[in-house]
């Protein structure tokens, strides 16, 4: 049976998001050669703000929001997650960072239950159990392979999950471009102040990487949003998983990072729980429609 045009378009948009996420990680690794994490995030915010401002409607008040307080909280938490992500890229293999990122969906399910009063269904309990099992395989606490730096990315995933939960509330009134506009505008001065004590004038060779991380960040958000508009999560979620083997290959080719099969195995288990939960919740929604 041929795939529907919407499913194909959704898969292609998610493919764009996968490539964008990988490009962001490589850009961060390259920028870390010449500058600190906050300076990287500042340059990212500058580029993103320029892109989003250029695309916002040229109508009075197009950027105004009635949820400024929520935007502030969302972006403080999101910035914490971004900082931990950038720091983790400098301390861990790229594949390990991306594998731990797959726990975001697990933490979103937990936080949505606590703060959005969504039901903790049996599929989500399976997702939580497999998520914990997967992260234990990746981290291997109590063994010689355990790297404490991985806990930074785990905390970063929790911060990302909290920002997603807040975004769900914000998006009831504000559009995705608005969320990105306020993200860039609010994070830019914070990251600048944090970067100034150790500021290093960016060398000319780093400017293309700075442009790439900002453009790729915007593209990742945009492509993921469009993919979910075109197709169900059960269609696009498997495409998202492709970024793990892809980033593992890039890490090996560009930085000589060793391939760790347990990292892949743990990520597969986390993803399996997430996909199972999405599929069951989607089928229940269809039955209740």
Q: Is residue 230 part of a domain?
A: yes
Residues 5-64 pLDDT 10s = 777 888 899 899 999 999 999 999 999 999 999 999 999 999 999 998 888 776 667 678
> By C-alpha distance, which of 214, 251, 262 is closest to 90?
251
Three-state secondary-structure class, residue 251: helix
pLDDT at 185: 93
**Domain encompassing residue 30:** 9-288
pLDDT at 47: 95
Half-sphere exposure of 26 (CA within 13 A, CB side): 21
pLDDT at 284: 63
Q: Is residue 270 part of a domain?
A: yes
Q: Is residue 1 part of a domain?
A: no
Q: What DSSP state is assigned to residue 63?
A: T
User: Are the C-beta atoms of 196 and 89 separated by less than 8 Å?
Assistant: no
pLDDT at 4: 66
- What's the CA gap between 53 and 180, in Å, rounded? 10
Residue with tokens 């909280």: 73
Q: Is residue 3 part of a domain?
A: no
Compute CA distances 242 → 222, 245, 267, 271, whole Å: 18, 6, 11, 11
> By C-alpha distance, which of 146, 141, 131, 25 is closest to 87?
25
pLDDT at 286: 43
pLDDT at 206: 94
Residue with tokens 């009075």: 60
Q: Is residue 4 part of a domain?
A: no
Residues 142-163 pLDDT 10s = 777 788 889 999 999 999 999 9
Average pLDDT by stretches of 10, the chain with 289 residues? 70 92 97 96 95 78 84 95 96 94 89 80 90 92 82 94 88 84 94 96 93 94 83 78 93 93 93 89 56
User: Are the C-beta atoms of 40 and 28 separated by less than 8 Å?
Assistant: yes
- What's the CA gap between 265 and 277, in Å, rounded? 19
- What's the CA gap between 22 and 248, in Å, rounded? 10
pLDDT at 287: 46
> By C-alpha distance, which of 37, 46, 73 is closest to 185?
46
The structural domain count of the chain equals 1
């Amino acid at each position: 049976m041929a795939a529907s045009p919407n499913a194909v378009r959704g898969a292609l948009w998610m493919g764009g998001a996968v490539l964008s996420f990988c490009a962001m990680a490589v850009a961060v690794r390259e920028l870390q050669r010449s500058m600190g994490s906050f300076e990287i995030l500042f340059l990212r915010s500058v580029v993103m703000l320029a892109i989003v401002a250029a695309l916002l409607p040229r109508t009075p008040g197009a950027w105004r929001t009635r949820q400024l307080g929520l935007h502030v909280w969302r972006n403080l938490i999101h910035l914490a997650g971004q900082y931990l992500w950038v720091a983790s890229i400098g301390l861990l293999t790229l594949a390990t960072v991306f594998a731990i990122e797959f726990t975001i969906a697990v933490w979103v399910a937990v936080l949505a239950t606590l703060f959005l009063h969504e039901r903790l269904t049996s599929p989500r309990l399976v997702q939580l159990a497999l998520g914990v099992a997967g992260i234990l395989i990746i981290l291997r606490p109590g063994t010689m392979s355990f790297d404490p730096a991985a806990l930074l990315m785990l905390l970063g995933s929790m911060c990302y999950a909290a920002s997603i939960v807040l975004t769900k509330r914000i998006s009831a009134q504000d559009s995705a471009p608005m969320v990105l506009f306020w993200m860039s505008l609010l994070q830019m001065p914070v990251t600048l102040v944090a970067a100034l004590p150790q500021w290093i004038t960016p060398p000319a060779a780093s400017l293309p990487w700075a442009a790439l991380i900002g453009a790729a960040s915007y593209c990742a958000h945009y492509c993921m949003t469009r993919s979910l508009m075109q197709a169900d999560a059960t269609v696009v979620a498997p495409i998202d998983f492709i970024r793990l083997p892809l980033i593992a290959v890039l890490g090996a080719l560009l930085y000589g990072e060793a391939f760790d099969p347990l990292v892949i195995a743990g990520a597969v288990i986390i993803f399996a729980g997430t996909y199972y939960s999405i599929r069951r919740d989607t089928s229940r929604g269809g039955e209740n429609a």
